[in-house]
Amino acid sequence: MGYSARRGFSNGGMKVTGAQRQAEMQQKIVQMQEAMAAAQEAVEAQTFSASVGGGVVEAKVSGKKEVVSIAIKPEAVDPEDVEMLQDLVVSAVNEALRQADEAMEAGMNGVTGGLNLGGFGL
C-alpha cells in the first residue's frame, strides 16, 4: 500500500467513481426507507393509553392515531356538569395521541439519527 500526498493511501486499486458513490448512497437511502417503514409499523402496532381526572376517564389510541376505546367510570358522570366530562374525554384522547406522536418521532429519530429528511420525502 502506497501513500501520496495528493491521493492519500492507496492499494493500487481503482478509484471510486461518482456513479459508484451515487449507487452506494441510493442503496443506503433504500435501507433507511426500509428501516423507517419497519419502525413505523412497530409504532402503529402499539396501543397508547392515558387517563385523566384521577383515572375516571381513560382513552386508548392506536399508533395509527385511531381511538380504540374510551372508558368512563360512573363517578365521572354528573348530569349537572356534562362539560367537565367532555373536557376529560378530550384531554385523555389528546394525551394518548401525544404519546403516539412521541413514539413515532422516537422511532424515526432512531432510524435517521435525528436528521430532518422532510425535503427528501422521507
What is the set of domains in the chain, with CATH numbers?
17-111 (3.30.1310.10)
The residues near 11 (Cβ < 8 Å, ≥ 6 apart) are 1, 2
Cβ 48 vs Cβ 103: under 8 Å = yes
The number of residues making up the chain comes to 122
Q: With the C-alpha atoms ordered 63, 67, 69, 73, is the resulting torsion angle positive or negative?
A: positive
Question: Which residue's entry shows cell 385523555?
Answer: 92
pLDDT in tens, 62-109: 999 999 999 999 998 998 999 999 999 999 999 999 999 999 999 888
Residue 58 confidence (pLDDT): 97
